[in-house]
Structure 1
Amino acid sequence: MPMIPVLMLSLALAADGGSTIPIGTPVSGSPAERARTTAKIVSGIISYARWPDALPKTTLCIMGTSPMSDALPQLEQHTGSTVEVHRVAAGIIPADCNVIYLTRVSPPAQAQIFSTVRGRAILSITDADPACRMGAMFCLRYAAETISFNINIDAISRSLVRVDPRVLRLSRHKASLTNPQPIVSE
């Protein structure tokens, strides 16, 4: 299944031209700052997703715990909709989950969870599979001082959630360490 590495780019967090988060650019080494940046990246990914039916709120379900997922409960959605965050047991996907975020979940459990959500209107994000081989749509990657992500085109194409092509095109951009290119939603 094709994976698209995404490095050194910016993901807009607001449809109205609000702040951007550079993807793959330096991040402070402090766990709290990395967790906040992770939350902003997850928020940006969610803002580029469209569900078959309009959602009054987005429900993000976190499976597993890690320092990177600690800031997700304070997640802000900048597209006007509310994001409600719940921590749930790995493998249990409540009916109201529109987004799942897996962290520190074993590979067999990940494979089972992602096969369960395949073909459903659930956006899947993980930081437990940087190579994006288990079936998540977006896979966060942490390096020494950077955060980037891979996109799993196969998982995206099988989902009922539609992802804005601007996110999918990120891999086509060439950006440097000193000049990240913002992708701004309109």
Structure 2
Amino acid sequence: MFAASIATSQICYAISNHNFYELALTILTYSKWPNTSRPIICVVDNPEAATQFQSSIKQLSYDYQVQAINAKDFPKTECHVVYFSTTSPQQQQSLIQSYPSRSLLSLSTNNLACEIGSIFCLYNQNTLSTFKVNLDALSYSKVHIDPRVLILAKNTE
């Protein structure tokens, strides 16, 4: 469940009682891509996270595919979602900009400022997971995010 508020700045955040993987999958339910009904989640440089995603997908009965990939292979891989947990925000930005399609939703667990790089930045805060939305990165992407996920976000400034 999310704490509700209105997004009015370039960076917004919301709170959930889910873990990172469940939170990310919940965000994906508010997303639509052109020409696919079964998005592919590419987990960059973290096979353990890919395994956790697969477990959460099975447990929650979502219809997503997961691939563990290396950052160097990312531009050649078909992805609808990219999940970063070990790359810097600068590396995220570079990889996202080098990706051949702009229909890419990006999530990160190691982007504290959330000013460059991923669209959604996920954090642990005590026993809760939180996320920020980088509206600049979102406007660059051609993924449609239901406005309800943005309404759930809270201005951090």
- TM class by shorter chain equals 0.7 to 0.9
- Report the Cα distance in structure 1 between the residues aligned to 2:40 and 2:27, rounded to whole angstroms: 14
In the superposition, the TM-score normalised over structure 2's length comes to 0.78
2: distance between equivalents of 1:67 and 1:79?
18
Query: Could you say which residue in structure 2 is the equivalent of 1:64?
Result: 45
Name the aligned partner's letter for residue 99 of structure 1: V
Instruction: Please give the alpha-carbon distance, in whole angstroms, between the structure 2 residues aligned to 1:138 and 1:85.
Output: 18
d(CA) in 2 for partners of 1:143 and 1:91?
A: 31
Backbone CA RMSD of aligned residues: 2.9
1:149 to 119, 131, 135: 131
- Aligned-pair CA distance for 1:110: 1.8
Give the counterpart letter for 2:43 in structure 1.
Answer: I
SS at match of 1:4: strand
Q: Determine the C-alpha separation between the residues in 2 that align with 1:69 and 1:130.
A: 21
Gap regions ≥5 residues in structure 2: 1-8
Is 72-81 or 156-165 further displaced after alignment? 72-81
Shift of 1:118: 8.8
Instruction: Give the superposition deviation at 1:107.
Output: 3.8
Q: Which residue matches 1:18? A: none
Q: Which one has a bigger Cα radius of gyration?
A: 1
Matching of residues 29-40 of structure 1 within 5 Å: 37-40=19-22
Q: Per the alignment, in what secondary structure is the counterpart of residue 42 of structure 1?
A: helix
Equivalence for 2:66: 85
Structure 1: how far apart are the matches of 2:24 and 2:61?
16
Identity score, percent: 24
Change (3 A) 1:124 1:110: same
Q: TM-score, normalization: structure 1? A: 0.67
Gap regions ≥5 residues in structure 1: 8-22, 28-36, 174-186
Shift of the alpha carbon at 1:81? 6.6
The structure whose RCO (Cα within 8 Å, separation 6+) is larger is: 2
SS of the aligned residue for 1:111 comes to helix
Report the CA distance shift for 1:2/1:77 in structure 2 as closer, same or farther (over 3 A). Answer: farther
Higher helix share: 2
TM-aligned CA distance change 1:79 to 1:52, over 3 Å:
farther
Q: Name the structure 2 match of 1:52.
A: 34
> What are the within-5 Å matches in structure 2 for residues 3-152 of structure 1?
3-7=11-15, 23=16, 25=17, 37-53=19-35, 55-65=36-46, 70-76=51-57, 82-93=63-74, 94-117=76-99, 120-152=102-134
Distance in 1 between the 2:49 and 2:59 partners? 20
Query: Number of aligned pairs?
Result: 146
Moved over 6 A (4+): 77-81
